[in-house]
Amino acid sequence: MSLQAFQQALTDLVMSPALRARIAEDPPGCLAGYDLSDLEVRRLAALARDPRVRTPTLLHRSFRLSMLANTLPRTCKALGPRGLRDLMHAYWGEGPPRTMQYLKEALRFAEFARGSLRDGSFQNAFLEEVLETEIAGLTLGRAGLTWEPGEHRVPDDLAFRVLRVHPACRVIPWRHDPDAVLAALDGGQPLEGFAEGEHCLLLAATGAGKLTSKAFGPLERRALLAAGGTRTVGDLCAELDLPGRVFVDLVGGGWLVA
């Protein structure tokens, strides 16, 4: 019997309407896992039947949802009302919030969403690419690195160089045209009629938490995703059947560096 156990039970009861319903049906059985006094069981049983407890439940969920709406607004839009509701319910069922830090909550949700897509328990054609773009933006913006736009010198011996993506940039593979999808999301348009293809979006940190983005097509996507290994530009051109000018342009733009 302790205040701590009572508060754990009260918190669970506030966060979960399903638990509340079960406690209302069978208080001693459902509360047996908590070390409670008779008075505390009586209190919780009464609260489980009290419709006014719905309000803090609503506020708790609003708070939790607001953390994601603030950090992952396009993801929330891409999910749509029904998808958002279904995925949130599944996510909230996984466990209570551990933090008031928006970034940490966003990363935890992203992990859950990835898992749901992987195991097929949730399906949405746009979720992965929109989510990964927003997560990359959140982490990149806080990394303190800066990418400088402009013309960058291309080494004469580029074919023998091993390239990597600029450390202040992130490349996110897309199955749809990122510019068109993001414009639709920002304009409140439905995500319909987008053909699948090989695209990618490159995010670059330009300082003071600001980001810029650039969409690329299939050739650049292959080059950007292949960079970062041990193979030279010459090897990559041969293996991926890419023209050398793709790498010249990406190095000249400052997105790939030696």
The partner residues of 179 in beta bridges, in order of sequence, read none
Strand duo 210-216 + 199-207: pairing: antiparallel
Contact segment (CB under 8 A) with other proteins among 61-69, 73-81, 161-169, 188-196 equals 61-69
Please give the residues from 86 up to 125 whose contact with other proteins meets the rule CB under 8 A.
95-101, 103
Among 22, 60, 114, 152, binds other proteins (CB under 8 A): 60
Tell me whether residue 48 or residue 131 sits nearer to other proteins (CB atom). Answer: 48
Find the binder of other proteins among 18, 26, 28, 63 (CB under 8 A): 63
Binder among 26, 28, 32, 33 for other proteins (CB under 8 A) = 33
Alpha-carbon distances, residue 218 vs 125, 196, 200, 241 (angstroms)? 19, 12, 8, 12
Residue appearing with tokens 């509701």 = 85
CA 177 and chain centroid, separation: 19
User: 65-84 mask for other proteins (x: CB under 8 A)?
Assistant: -x------------------
Residue 218 contacts other proteins per CB under 8 A: no
Size of the site for other proteins (CB under 8 A): 38
Burial 152-168 (b: 16+ CB within 10 A, else e): eebeeebeebebebbeb
Q: How many CA atoms lie within 13 A of 105 on its CB side?
A: 21
The window from 21-29, 57-65, 149-157, 219-227 that contacts other proteins (CB under 8 A) reads 57-65
Residue 258 in the binding site for other proteins (CB under 8 A): no
* Cα separation, 146 vs 241, whole angstroms: 32
**Smallest distance from other proteins to CB 99, Å:** 6
Rounded Cα distance between 179 and 173, Å, is 13
- Minimum Å gap between C-beta 208 and other proteins is 10
46 is a contact residue toward other proteins (CB under 8 A): yes
Q: What gap in Å lies between CA 242 and CA 258, rounded to an integer?
A: 18
Which window, 24-32, 39-47, 131-139, 150-158, contacts other proteins (CB under 8 A)? 39-47
Distance CA 184, CA 77 (A): 10
Instruction: Dig out the tokens for 55 from the structure.
Output: 């309000």
d(CA 140, CA 46) in angstroms, rounded, equals: 48
Rule CB under 8 A: which of 176-215 touch other proteins?
none
Contact residues toward other proteins (CB under 8 A) are: 2-8, 10-12, 14-15, 33-34, 39, 42-43, 46-47, 50, 52-53, 55-56, 58-60, 63-64, 66, 95-101, 103
